[in-house]
Amino acid sequence: MRELELSKAFTLIEPGPVVLVTTCAAGRANVMTISWTMVLDFSPRFALTTGPWNHSFAALEQQRECVIAIPTVDLLDT
């Protein structure tokens, strides 16, 4: 994995690829795919949309942290 300047990181997620949001609930890993995301100009720098209608929402609310993974095109054939 290579590091990028934060000011250039938005180019990886515009115009909105599928993003993997991972967290843990009740000792079980949870992965949510989401495509409605946006980069912000203030902290936190990244926003996504979910709510109580989604199983992952409870895990995010409980843990208060997650990992956001942005798959690249080189994973296409794996």
Q: What is the pLDDT of residues 23-78, one digit of tens each?
A: 998 888 999 888 777 777 777 777 788 888 888 888 889 888 889 888 888 877 76
- Amino acid 6: pLDDT: 74
Q: What's the distance, CA 67 to chain centroid?
A: 6
Q: Is pTM, for the whole model, over 0.75? A: no
In a domain, 20, yes or no: yes
What residues make up the domain containing 61? 15-73
Backbone angles phi, psi at 18, to 5 degrees: -70, 135
- Amino acid 25: pLDDT: 84
In a domain, 7, yes or no: no
Measuring CA to CA, which residue among 33, 1, 41, 40 is closest to residue 17? 33
Question: How many domains does the chain divide into?
Answer: 1
- Amino acid 11: pLDDT: 62
In a domain, 1, yes or no: no
In a domain, 19, yes or no: yes
User: For residue range 11-25, what is the model confidence (pLDDT) as tens digits?
Assistant: 665 566 788 999 998
In a domain, 3, yes or no: no
